[in-house]
Amino acid sequence: MAISANLVIGYFKQRDWRGWVLPVAFVALWSVASYFNWVNPKLIPPPYAVLETAWQQLFAEDFFTGLGASLFRNLSGFVIGGTAGILVGLALGFSRWFDHLFGPSFNALKQISLFAWLPLISTWFGYDNSAKILFISLAAFYPVALNTFEGVRSVTLSQLEVAKVYGFSQSQLIYKLVLPAATPQIFVGLQLGLIYAWLATIGSELLLANWGVGLGNIVIRGREAFNVPLIIFGMLIIGLIGALFNRLAARVEARLLRWRGAER
Amino acid sequence: MSSHTQTLKITHDWTWLTRVVATVRKLLGHSGIVVTGFIFPLIVLALWQLAFEQNWLPVQILPPPSLVWQTFWELIDSGDLTVNLWVSLKRIAWSVLIGGSAGLLIGFAIGLSKRAYAYIYPTFDVVSQFPVVGWIPLLMIFLGIDEGLKIAAISLAVVVPVTVSTYKGIRSVPPALFEVGKVYGFSYQQTLLRIALPAALPAIFSGVRQGVMQAWLSLVFVELLASSEGIGYLMVWGRQLLQMDIVFIGIIVIGLVGVVLDFTLRFIESRLQTWRRSAF
């Protein structure tokens, strides 16, 4: 009994609770300000209004349809863009002539700010799922391709020479030298790709809000109806999913790269 | 004796010649690479022109390259392009100033003080993972769709990378440097200005560069979403008039400005790093 009590106390002592001060203070200030009507409740609703909306939304079919549609587009775009990115990055990294031929175009196009493509894509491919997925793929493609390229190029000449001395075949060269060497950098790219895909998912829904369903559409509808609790709720969900993707990617990366030892 | 000098002279001439040959070869080889880089865009351009001549697609969908070129000069002559671009660049400058200062402040605070880190970092870490565009609908409620919205949204995009790299830059200052400062009896201010800032400068600047690129990304977004001027608005306008030539010009100009920004900042960054190398 005493031991377990000590364990519990130890746990609470070990956790650094100071990180909670800022958010708790923020919510407290918000509640107090709303309670005493210091702020316009239409503009800044009280926290419980947000909770109420959240509770309603969690039982609303619309919300889940939107969430599902957003996640589906996000993941399809990420898979397509990520695969294309790895393939193009490998080709650019391995083959000098491929690099000479397409490298300059690739580098010029990557400077075009992502959202600038959207007016073009929406004109050419419409406003439905396929156009959005194309846009999200594009968002995921660049960071993945760029980092894969850098990963392949990070193989040093001496490493290659050692492999040649051991008489590695072409496929051994790829699977035993280049891919393991490039994997950490490819993961950096995939993680960035995941972040950019989510940015593009939400961005495309906000910009093409009148078409289709999604989290972004819910938020924009909240804005049009001046339903601030709905906007805050949507924003929190969008942010939390983004943070969740980040954590997930970091965890997968740590697991897959465990063979590298406790380097980091 | 004279023949000896003669030989020397000849040898000298010969090395000079090889150097010239090597340079010419290098230039040729280099331009060879540059030329191959143009093959793909030229093929695309040719296909584009062909598609126009064969009427594969309506002009409203794919305007011919010549029309894009013509519209480009028309927009410059009428001032539409330059005025809107100037508006956008001013927004970037303000946001980098505001967001960058905020980022520096937070980065320095959590980098230098363990206590500030414990209080601020957990919140910052979660909030920084929210996609920037997600904030914009909420900001629209508070700030309307005027200039304030654009500056706030773009500044937010700058804060995160600048904070993170300032923090990392300060944390990676070798502790030995701080010890030297202690030996010399530096005041807190001196430690800050003479050790932490110079040592962290390259990292900070790399954060500023990322911040500027993020700002450029969100600028285009917010201008597409709600704006009455700016390069993004120009594209929306062209899109509504079904003048895809204007949209194309928007894309090209946005790409060019991106290249110039990136190149300039990378150049400054590399200069900062050479300064650092020579300092130690």
Give the CATH number of the domain where residue A195 resides. 1.10.3720.10
Least Cα separation, residue B234 to chain A (angstroms): 11
Q: Pick from B126, B262, B129: which is nearest to A194 by CA?
A: B129
If 0-12 CB within 10 Å is exposed, 13-18 middle and 19+ buried, where does residue A237 land?
A: buried
Residue A196 exposure: Cα atoms within 13 Å on the Cβ side? 26
User: Which of B133, B220, B235 has the CB atom closest to A199's CB atom?
Assistant: B133
The sign of the dihedral angle between the CA atoms of A169, A173, A176, A177 is positive
| Per-residue pLDDT tens over the stretch B186-195 | 988 888 888 8
Least Cα separation, residue A50 to chain B (angstroms): 13
Q: Using an 8 Å CB-CB cutoff, list chain A residues near B118.
A: 16, 18-19
Whether A6 maps to a domain, the answer reads no
Q: Note whether ipTM > 0.90 here.
A: no
Q: Using an 8 Å CB-CB cutoff, list chain A residues near B254.
A: 112-113, 116
Test B129 with A219 for CB contact under 8 angstroms.
no
Q: Pick from A242, A98, A259, A244: which is nearest to A184 by CA?
A: A259
Is the CB of residue B158 less than 8 Å from the CB of residue B95?
A: yes
| Per-residue pLDDT tens over the stretch B28-80 | 665 666 677 888 889 999 998 888 888 888 888 888 898 999 999 999 999 88
| Per-residue pLDDT tens over the stretch B102-142 | 999 999 999 988 999 999 999 998 888 888 888 998 898 88
Global pTM? Answer: 0.86
Whether A53 maps to a domain, the answer reads yes
* Token code pair at residue A253: 């990366």
Least Cα separation, residue A158 to chain B (angstroms): 25
Is the CB of residue A22 less than 8 Å from the CB of residue B123?
A: yes
Whether A105 maps to a domain, the answer reads yes
Whether A219 maps to a domain, the answer reads yes
Least Cα separation, residue B18 to chain A (angstroms): 27
Please state the length of chain A.
264
If 0-12 CB within 10 Å is exposed, 13-18 middle and 19+ buried, where does residue B258 land?
A: buried
Give the C-alpha separation, A110 to A90, whole Å: 17
Whether A8 maps to a domain, the answer reads no
Test B235 with A103 for CB contact under 8 angstroms.
no
Please state the length of chain B.
280
Q: Which of A67, A111, A117, A206 to mutate to test the interface with B (most CBs of B within 10 A)?
A: A111
Alpha-carbon distances, residue B197 vs B7, B167, B200 (angstroms): 57, 11, 5
DSSP state of A176: I
Test A113 with B122 for CB contact under 8 angstroms.
no
Domain hosting A174: range is 49-260
Q: Using an 8 Å CB-CB cutoff, list chain A residues near B230.
A: none
Question: In sequence order, which residues have a C-beta less than 8 Å from that of residue B120 and are 6 or more positions away?
Answer: A22, B106, B109, B110
User: Which of A20, A101, A220 has the CB atom closest to B40's CB atom?
Assistant: A101
Chains A, B: CB contacts within 8 A come to: 141
Is the CB of residue A214 less than 8 Å from the CB of residue A205?
A: yes
* Token code pair at residue B51: 């598609």
Tens of each residue's pLDDT in chain A, 264 residues: 556 666 667 666 667 788 888 999 999 999 999 888 888 888 888 899 999 999 998 888 888 999 999 999 999 999 999 999 999 999 999 888 888 889 888 988 888 989 999 999 988 888 888 999 999 999 999 999 999 999 998 888 888 888 889 988 888 888 888 888 888 899 999 999 999 999 999 999 999 877 788 899 888 888 888 889 999 999 999 999 999 998 888 888 888 777 766 544
* Token code pair at residue B181: 């400062």
Collapse the DSSP code of B144 into the 3-class scheme (helix H, G, I; strand E, B; otherwise coil) and give the result: coil
Is the CB of residue B100 less than 8 Å from the CB of residue A217?
A: no
Test B134 with A23 for CB contact under 8 angstroms.
no
Alpha-carbon distances, residue A155 vs A93, A151, A160 (angstroms): 10, 7, 7
The sign of the dihedral angle between the CA atoms of A116, A237, B100, B186 is negative
Least Cα separation, residue B33 to chain A (angstroms): 6
- Total structural domains within chain A: 1
Residue with tokens 């969908």: B61
> Does CATH place domain B65-279 in 1.10.10.60?
no
Whether A136 maps to a domain, the answer reads yes
Q: Which of B56, B210, B220 to mutate to test the interface with A (most CBs of A within 10 A)?
A: B220
Whether A31 maps to a domain, the answer reads no
Least Cα separation, residue B172 to chain A (angstroms): 14
Q: Using an 8 Å CB-CB cutoff, list chain A residues near B220.
A: 113-116
Give the C-alpha separation, A147 to A116, whole Å: 22
Whether A221 maps to a domain, the answer reads yes
Give the C-alpha separation, B87 to B255, whole Å: 17
Q: Using an 8 Å CB-CB cutoff, list chain A residues near B141.
A: 43, 223, 226, 228, 231
